[in-house]
Structure 1
Amino acid sequence: MRKYVGFLCLILQVSIGHCGPVGRPDFVSDEMIALAASVVNACQTQTGVATADIEAVRNGQWLNSTPLKCYMYCLWEQFGLVDDKRELSLNGMLTFFQRIPAYRAEVQTAIRECKKIGKFFADGDNCQYAYTFNLCYSKLSPRTYYLF
């Protein structure tokens, strides 16, 4: 169940398109959002990130904030999406997007490129890795990115 919820959170993190400041596509259900809520709240508490900082990212304003960066990594970690190298494991997200052919190629390209860029700029800092990946992904696939 933890892997399933983790998979859902990462989907939420990267799959809600820019249909306005807080829009979401049809394939992200209210149930998925509800399943992710407790982990989102836990990561906000753990990192101290302000809701306003998360909303700023949703609106395209990327703050250089350590709590925000660590929040992004916390989401990955809490949902079991970090591998033994402490890097983002993307198998679940790719599996999900196999069922949504319209996004498949775009998502695969963004993931491949952003994982490399994220690792390069992180210099061993997991929070910076998550932030750099998310920023890259939001630029390469804006219609599928959303920070939950």
Structure 2
Amino acid sequence: MISKIIAIFLALFVISHALEVPPALKKQVKKLHIRCANQTGVAEEVIRKAHQAGQLPSDPAFKCFLYCMLEIFGLIDSEHIMHLESLVEVLPEEVHAQIQRLADTCGTKKGADGCETAYLTVKCYIETDGPFIKGAVDDLLG
């Protein structure tokens, strides 16, 4: 049950630029954000600057923050393999091509560990379709 809820959260996260994100969802994502920030020790200032600049800092705690968020959303598994393409099953058809393009272009960029893998893969997503990713994050986080 929890994984279905997380999949729905993530689906809304990815397509949020096309929908009005409900305040309750934003609140839940904020709780997950706080949980991962506390778990990894990343400074909120680092996250804020990354969001504003649209560039990922090379900060180790930030890399682990990304991993934590992706893990909670069920997009990276215990083998550190990304599964972005699984979103096609729960997202509207209008975004299938964008999701598939990100998955096909980036796959899983292997790093030394899960944190580095998450960082390199998200970096590829941004390089591939930055406006799509930034729009989703902007709408979700406000």
Name the TM-score, length of structure 1 as normaliser: 0.74
Deviation of 1:109 after TM superposition, in Å, equals 0.8
The 2-side partners of 1:114 and 1:36 are apart by 25
The equivalent residue for 1:77 is: 71
The question of 1:89 aligning with 2:79 is answered no
5+ long unaligned stretches in structure 1: 17-23
Residue among 17, 23, 29 paired with 1:36: 29
The equivalent residue for 1:141 is: 129
SS of residue in 1 equivalent to 2:57 = coil
* Structure with the largest fraction of helix: 2
**Matched pairs, number:** 135
The 2-side partners of 1:61 and 1:86 are apart by 22
Deviation of 1:100 after TM superposition, in Å, equals 4.6
Give the CA RMSD over aligned residues: 2.4
Letter in 1 for 2:106: C
Letter in 1 for 2:21: V
The 1-side partners of 2:101 and 2:130 are apart by 13
Deviation of 1:133 after TM superposition, in Å, equals 0.8
Q: Percent identity?
A: 25
Name the TM-score, length of structure 2 as normaliser: 0.77
5+ long unaligned stretches in structure 2: none
The 1-side partners of 2:39 and 2:132 are apart by 26
